[in-house]
Amino acid sequence: MAHSREVARGEAGPGRLQRRGWRSGPRCLLVAAAVLTGMTMVMAAPAPATTAVQRQQQQQVTYVANSGSDNVSVIDNVTNTVINTITVGDNPAALAITPGGTRVYVANSDSDNVSVIDTSTNTVTATISVGDNPQGLVVTPGGTRVYVTNFNSNNVSVISTATNTVIDTITVGTNPQGLAVTPGGTRVYVGNFASNNVSVISTTSNAVIDTVTVGTNPVGVAVTPGGTRVYVTNTDSDNVSVISTASNTVIDTITGGDRPGGVAVTPGGTRVYVANHDSGNVSVISTASNTVIDTITVGINPRMLAITPGSTRVYVPNFGSDNVSVISTASNTVIGTVTVGTEPTAADSGLISE
């Protein structure tokens, strides 16, 4: 059942809602790599025990964008408790942890900017102006660039992480929203909500090199770890398009729940988790058969979910419940619920250095 604060399918709604994407609802609607440290040892010497300080250098966390309270909650994945709350811009819609785990980039849809969080202090250290109504962002595998979709500008801003400035702007389809980068960092796939297609950007030229027609109102985009497929959620056709990156054509379509949006692939590439906004559940897709193999009930209006680097848990922000459901991938059951800020809309999980 859709929460009372959510507009009906296909309706733009009044006032400020018209300038926002699917994620925004009434207040607005993906992966980190571990930083490994080591020591040069004398060959005959035994390996030292891991100290508490060394363990803290790689803390497992999930950052959650709360669109209604204009802040980001930091969840400790071990205890499933909120350990910090960071004020960002107006109506944060998406976020991503850098591969090194040192920063989090947050797209603020109503501020038209991106907040940069230093994970060692959990404070905002920079703010970057982008296009109109930024709705999604992704960090390249090398951590050198951030690609940001601007829903009302019909383009993508390219940010250099070295300078935290916009170095390029790429025109795409109408109302770009979700996006994902290939593991090799050579392409970015952008879902264009109102064009019903996906733009394929070459990161070498920062130009669109192909366009793929998908279902109605694509929202979420995720690339498999092998880089061979792209899964795109089509929120108003209630299905998921599967794109082959070799041919940039749709090779399969998977029927899912009601208004699918958030999508993420496990690091092993065997499963895809899809948040169904109006069904209040998550579909589990087998990538071997491209069929739904399980359905998990979560909170009200689940949004852009995240899978932990170890692939053991899925964190699902529930926009209408003001909480995050924690799913065990071993049992595909909810094992915890974490209260966060108001109208949580996106999450990213990773390892950060302390």
Largest CA distance in the chain: 71
Q: Which CATH number fits domain 15-34+60-352: 3.40.190.10, 1.10.490.10, 1.20.1600.10, 2.130.10.10?
A: 2.130.10.10
In three-state secondary structure terms, 233 is strand
Place of tokens 């202090």: 121
Containing 253, the helix (H) or strand (E) segment is strand 249-255
Q: Which residues pair with 264 in a beta bridge?
A: 273
In order of 14, 226, 288, 349, 351, the CA distances from 268 in angstroms are: 43, 9, 12, 15, 17
pLDDT per residue, tens digit, the chain (354 aa), is 333 333 332 333 323 333 344 444 433 333 333 332 333 332 333 334 444 444 446 899 999 999 999 999 999 999 999 999 999 999 999 999 999 999 999 999 999 999 999 999 999 999 999 999 999 999 999 999 999 999 999 999 999 999 999 999 999 999 999 999 999 999 999 999 999 999 999 999 999 999 999 999 999 999 999 999 999 999 999 999 999 999 999 999 999 899 999 999 999 999 999 999 999 999 999 999 999 999 999 999 999 999 999 999 999 999 999 999 999 999 999 999 999 999 999 999 999 986
Distance CA 275, CA 257 (A): 8
Distance CA 306, CA 74 (A): 13
pTM: 0.86
Q: At residue 324, what are phi and psi to the nearest 5 degrees?
A: -125, 125
Distance CA 70, CA 93 (A): 9
Distance CA 81, CA 150 (A): 32
Domain coordinates of the chain in residue numbers?
Answer: 15-34+60-352
User: CB of 235 within 8 A of CB of 277?
Assistant: yes
